[in-house]
Amino acid sequence: MRELAPSARPAPPPGRGGTGPIGGNALRAGGLVVALGALVVVALLSVAVGSKGIPLGTVVHELLHYDGSDDGVVIRGLRVPRTLLGIAVGAALGLAGALMQALTRNPLADPGVLGVNAGASAAVVAAIELLGLRSLSAYVWFALAGAAVASVLVYALGSRGRSAATPVRLALAGAAISSVLGAVVNWLVLMDQTAFDDFRFWSVGALAGRPLSVLTQTGPFLLAGAVLALSLGRPLNAMALGEDSARALGAHTGRTRALAVLAVTLLCGAATAAAGPIAFVGLAVPHVARTVTGPDQRWLLPYSAVLAAIWLLASDILGRIIARPGEIEVGIVTAFVGAPVLIWLVRRSRGARL
């Protein structure tokens, strides 16, 4: 038989001998360690940068030896909780975005495809308008519940009929639920100016003004979603080969899809409840991670988590720098930064079309 040209040879399945753009597992592990080191540096900068700049040496000293000084109060009372929230929310959005793109086989999918953001927004508006809740820590639970209900509805609609939930049916169901809930949100906020003002504060997407209690309330959901997501790398690799091939390899496609939807609900629901809807992080970061890891979900998922946390913290820092002594909310910065990065990534890919 005539030997196939290198470009015509079939690519090895992800996780079964294939190598990503930077080579084997040792290099990928090394790259992940470097990314974690970069996250530590960005986290320190996040604590140091603000309307009042604090030297890095002082930051390290106050973190290790709190002495009750003014800088120590600012660091421990305001900036450390903000930084921890940014790391948790960023990692959750990165994981949720990578899962959604693998689940729907759509490189432009983001966590909003399953209606998670719309469900959380509708629940928050209902809590403000109908129950009179005004505290962020009070309606965070409603945001979580709304995200969960919306995801269940989307999965139920996508699973109706003789065939199982397919990527296309899930995406269509998510678009339908998001449109309906979006209309409900607009109707409720237009009825009450106070509800509109409170909802606007939450919906802009920000890390500032969120107390540490928000992270402690949503943290267990974020942790559970992260553990579940990272455990799905191997079955998602099998599903990337097609339904029949995945079943031949022993993967339970229905169970994997349901667990992925649950993980996205936990991750994106809790992240949205804590910081509001933040755009482009879950959409763009997996593309950046994929240039390093290739299609192997076992590496793509942890890379997406770390790089998304770096992206979100860096965007938050940028918002503090360019508007000093005030600041621009991180949700606005990620949209301005993420849109051109995503366009560049799509144009860079020869197989993609804008």
> What's the pTM value of the predicted model, to 2 decimals?
0.84
Rounded-to-integer distance, Cα 220 and Cα 108, Å? 28
Residue type, 148: A
pLDDT digit string (tens) for 44-78?
999 999 888 888 888 888 888 887 788 888 898 88
Cβ proximity of 310 and 44 under 8 Å: no
Indicate the pLDDT class of residue 18, thresholds 50, 70 and 90: very low
Average pLDDT of span 106-130: 81
**% the chain with pLDDT above 90:** 27
- CA 239 remoteness from chain centre: 22
pLDDT digit string (tens) for 224-280?
999 999 999 988 888 877 776 767 766 777 888 889 989 988 998 889 888 888 888
pLDDT at site 17: 42
Average pLDDT of span 167-179: 82
Indicate the pLDDT class of residue 202, thresholds 50, 70 and 90: confident
- What ranges do the domains of the chain cover? 55-348
Rounded-to-integer distance, Cα 41 and Cα 310, Å? 9
CATH number given to 55-348: 1.10.3470.10
Cβ proximity of 84 and 95 under 8 Å: no
pLDDT at site 10: 38
